[in-house]
Amino acid sequence: MKRRPSSQPEIPLTSTSDVAFLLLIFFLVAASTGTDRGRKLDLPSTEKTTEPIKEATNLEITVGAETLKAGETELADIDELKAVVRDHLADRTEPSERVVMVNTAEEVTYQRWSDVFVAIETSGGIPVPQIEEGESGPSQE
C-alpha cells in the first residue's frame, strides 16, 4: 500500500496584499494631516484697543511691488529694513511703541508682504497692516 505524501505546513499569504494596502493607505492619511505650520497674525481690534496707537511716533513702512520705504527713506532690501526697525525700537519697551505701521500697495504679492512682516517681527516690532475700513476690494466675477 502506498503512503500518502505528507502535506507541507504553509503560512496563508492570501490577505498579505490587503494588509499591505491598509498600511499604505493608513500612512498616506496620517502623513497628510497635521502638517500645517505657520505664524500668528495679530490684527488690532477696534473694540479691544485701550491705548491709542501713537501714529506720529511709530515707524511707517510702505511696501511696493519693487520698492520699500521707511517713512520717506528708500530701503534697498529686507536686511536694511531689519536694521532700520531694530534702530528705531532700540529704546522702546512698551508694546504700543513697538508698533510698526505697514502700508501695502495693491499689487504686492503675499510672499513679499509676508517677508516684510516676518522681518519686522523678528526685529522686535509689532507689524500692523493698514487696512482701510470699508475697502471693497476688487470685484470677483
Partner 1 sequence: MKAPRAKKASATIPLCSTADIAFLLLIFFIVLAKGTREGSIDWKPAKTEAQMTMPRDPALTVIIDAFDQVHLDGVPVALNEVRFQAADVLEHRAGKVPGRRPQVLMKIHKESKAAIFQKVMGDLGELDVELFRVMEQEQPKPRTPGT
The site for partner 1 (CB under 8 A) is made up of 14-15, 18-19, 21-22, 25-26, 28-29, 32, 34, 36-43, 45, 104-111, 113-115, 118, 121-122, 129, 131-133, 135-140
Least CB distance to partner 1 at residue 99 (A): 15
Q: Which is nearer to partner 1, 89 or 127 (CB)?
A: 127
Q: 69 has which bridge partners?
A: 62, 74
| CB 128, min distance to partner 1, A | 11
- Of the candidates 51, 60, 47, 133, the one whose C-alpha atom is nearest the C-alpha of residue 94 is 51
Q: Alpha-carbon Rg of the chain, whole angstroms?
A: 29
Please count the CA atoms within 13 angstroms of the CA of 101 that sit on its side-chain side.
15
> With respect to partner 1, which residue has the nearer C-beta, 6 or 111?
111
Q: Name the β-bridge partners of 99.
A: 126
